[in-house]
Amino acid sequence: MGYTNNNSKQEYLKQSVMTASPSELVVMLFDSCIKNLKQAEICLNERRDFDGANLHFQKSQKIILELISCLDTSYEISAQLFLVYQYLLCTIRDMNAKKNLSLLTDVLDILNSLRDTWKKVSTLRDITSSEVG
């Protein structure tokens, strides 16, 4: 039963990604980054599982790198987002290397704020698209 349930979850996730707009994909990336950082925190604080924490930190780092690679430099805001993403990436790397979560709240606040902004953008694009169509 677990195998079928896992396949259903994987198929749902795949369909969600395949049908998402670009802004919805960005929201998904932020959600996944936040989730992985919280998992790293659980690994460190509750389980003392350094390998598990490392895995989740690395997943978060890969997501930030993906966000950096998706920046459209033709927009002025991209340079500012690049600096924010660089800060996040360096801070996550530092937390992983030192297994120190003292800046986790700040990182999560920034990620949540960015995610919420993109969620609003995604909602506005959906409203605009439905009005045009």
Per CATH, is 22-132 categorized as 3.40.50.1100? no
**What's the chain's average pLDDT?**
90
Mean pLDDT, range 86-94, rounded to an integer: 98
Mean pLDDT, range 52-75, rounded to an integer: 97
Q: Provide the residue ranges of all domains of the chain, joining segments of one domain with +.
A: 22-132
3-state SS, one letter per residue, for the chain: CHHHHHHHHHHHHHHHHHHCCHHHHHHHHHHHHHHHHHHHHHHHHHHCCHHHHHHHHHHHHHHHHHHHHCCCCCCCHHHHHHHHHHHHHHHHHHHHHHCCCCCHHHHHHHHHHHHHHHHHHHHHHHHHHHHHC
> What pLDDT is stored for residue 132 in this prediction?
47
pLDDT 10s digits, 117-126: 999 998 887 6
Quick check: 133 pLDDT over 50?
no
> What pLDDT is stored for residue 13 in this prediction?
64
